[in-house]
Amino acid sequence: MAGTFRNLAVVPRMVFGRGAFGQLEEILSSARGETGGSMIFLVDDVFKDHALASRVPVGKSDHRVWVNVDVEPKTVYVDELTQQARSLADGTPAGVIGIGGGSAMDLAKSVALMLNNPGSSADYQGWDLIREPAAYHVGVPTLSGTGAEVSRTAVLSGPVRKLGLNSDYTVFDQIVLDPDLIADAPDPQRFYTGMDCYFHCVEAICGTFLNEFSRAYSEKAIELCREVFLEKEIDRREADEKLMMASYCGGMSIAYSQVGACHAMSYGLSFVLGLRHGEGNAVAFNQLEEFYPEGVREFRRMMDIHGIELPTGVTRDLTDAQMNKMIEVSLSMDPLWENCLGPNWKSEMTPERARELYSRM
């Protein structure tokens, strides 16, 4: 029988600090080993004309691949990138480094897994389907909030569903947390991604799965989010450092709990309407006062302070079939609803109630 308590896989090595990105070369050289295998850097193409591009420590036998995340990661893209990595390295590369937001980091996690596991990444969407350990992989966030830097999942849209590659092997071997790298992230993206952390933690704290491990990290993350998003006078450099740690704590919190109604509704929005994760969460959360009254009020204050205007009427032009699909996707997220409402959630969260909530978004 499986143990009662989750035996958490966590990132074994991390470096935190302003300028820490400069240590990446040294970190990789010890990871390469004596034979000096080649590393594949998957870098978000938003940095093509940015100073960061010239600081990526691409060595003689390494390769840099620009990745595009205009749409959030898909299994077909992961499969293409895996082939590209193999052919660039003329075999299996020694490691993969993902530099970017949650999307680029999830691409790096997925490619590292697929380098050592046969078939398509779509075959592994689910829980613990991955058989072989991943290639060495490193995460370098340039946006903070998703917690992807510490989580055991890589979220992918596949031919049938949007579902992560959830496994202990998904966890990064190393992360480099350098607050300088998120300095130029523009609003509203910075805000939406930061709110992903805030929502994760509100959902965890209000959830039925909560334990003290998760509460400790959630409370700290929420406190940091308040300092970052409610204090009008906060220095941006200080805020970036706090936001990076909030994301880390939020990710650690979710490792031992679960998200809830906001993420369940947001999945429906992104599946049918293609809304990005951060924006979809914000649109959903704003209508979930009946689940998270204090959180929603605080979120609205944060939006006010940062001058964020949410899209409205996003579900207005949906056909019946699309609306039904959205409801179906959302209500298929059993663990999220169970965390939110307990084991008998189906009696409370009916398709009619979901329709009513969606129609307000």
Q: By CB under 5 A, what part of segment 101-140 binds Zn ion?
A: none
Are residues 42 and 62 in contact, defined by beta-carbon separation less than 8 angstroms? no
By CB under 5 A, which span of 189-197, 202-210, 229-237, 248-256 interacts with Zn ion?
Answer: 189-197
With CB cut-offs between 5 and 8 Å by kind, which of Zn ion, ligand NAD, none does residue 194 bind? none
Q: How many CA atoms lie within 13 A of 353 on its CB side?
A: 14
Which region holds residue 126: left if phi is over 0, alpha if psi is between -120 and 50, else beta?
Answer: left
**Strand order in 136-141's β-sheet?**
13-16, 174-177, 136-141, 95-100, 39-44, 63-67
Burial class (CB in 10 A: 0-12, 13-18, 19+), 101: buried
CB of 260 to Zn ion, least distance (A): 11
Whether 172 contacts 138, CB under 8 Å: yes
User: How far apart are CB 206 and Zn ion at their closest, in Å?
Assistant: 15
Contacts (CB under 6 A) with ligand NAD, residues 142-161: 142-143, 146-148, 151, 153-155
From the list 31-39, 68-76, 88-96, 307-315, the region that binds ligand NAD by CB under 6 A is 68-76
Angle, helices 293-305 vs 212-230, to 10°: value is 30
Query: What's the gap between Cα 184 and its chain centre?
Result: 19
Q: Which residues is 164 bridged to in the sheet?
A: 155
Question: CA 16, CA 19: separation in Å to the nearest integer?
Answer: 9
- Rounded to whole angstroms, the Cα distance separating 287 from 267 reads 15
CB of 145 to Zn ion, least distance (A): 8
Q: Which stretch binds ligand NAD (CB under 6 A): 69-77, 290-298, 308-316, 341-349?
A: 69-77
Report the nearest approach of ligand NAD to the CB of residue 22 (Å): 17
Compare residues 152 and 220 and give the one whose CB is closer to ligand NAD: 152
**3-state percent helix, strand, coil for the chain, nearest multiple of 5:** 50, 10, 35
The residue range among 14-22, 98-106, 120-128, 216-224 that interacts with ligand NAD, by the rule CB under 6 A, is 98-106
Rounded CA gap, 217 and 200, in Å? 11
Number of residues binding to ligand NAD, judged by CB under 6 A: 29
106 touches ligand NAD (CB under 6 A)? yes
Q: Does 241 bind Zn ion (CB under 5 A)?
A: no
Among 196, 240, 279, 298, binds Zn ion (CB under 5 A): 196
User: Running DSSP on this structure, what letter comes out for residue 74?
Assistant: B
Q: Judged by CB, which is closer to ligand NAD: 52, or 89?
A: 52
Cβ-based nearer residue to Zn ion, 25 or 334: 334
Q: What angle in degrees, to the nearest 10, is found between the helix axes of 212-230 and 236-255?
A: 160
72 binds Zn ion (CB under 5 A): no
* Interaction of residue 69 with ligand NAD, rule CB under 6 A: yes
Measured from the CB of residue 187, what is the shortest distance to ligand NAD in angstroms? 10
Q: Select from ligand NAD, Zn ion, none the partner in contact with residue 173, using the beta carbon and a kind-dependent cut-off of 5 to 8 Å.
A: none
Q: Are 147 and 251 in contact (CB under 8 A)?
A: yes
User: Does residue 253 belong to the site contacting ligand NAD (CB under 6 A)?
Assistant: no
What does the block give as tokens for 146? 């998703």
Residues 6+ positions from 54 with CB-CB distance below 8 Å: none
| Contact range with Zn ion by CB under 5 A, out of 56-64, 194-202, 248-256, 287-295 | 194-202
**Least separation in angstroms between CB 356 and ligand NAD:** 26
Binding ligand NAD (rule: CB under 6 A), the pick from 98, 101, 250, 268 is 101
Residues that bind Zn ion (CB under 5 A): 196
Residues that bind ligand NAD (CB under 6 A): 44, 46, 69, 72-73, 100-104, 106, 142-143, 146-148, 151, 153-155, 182, 184-186, 189, 193, 196, 277-278
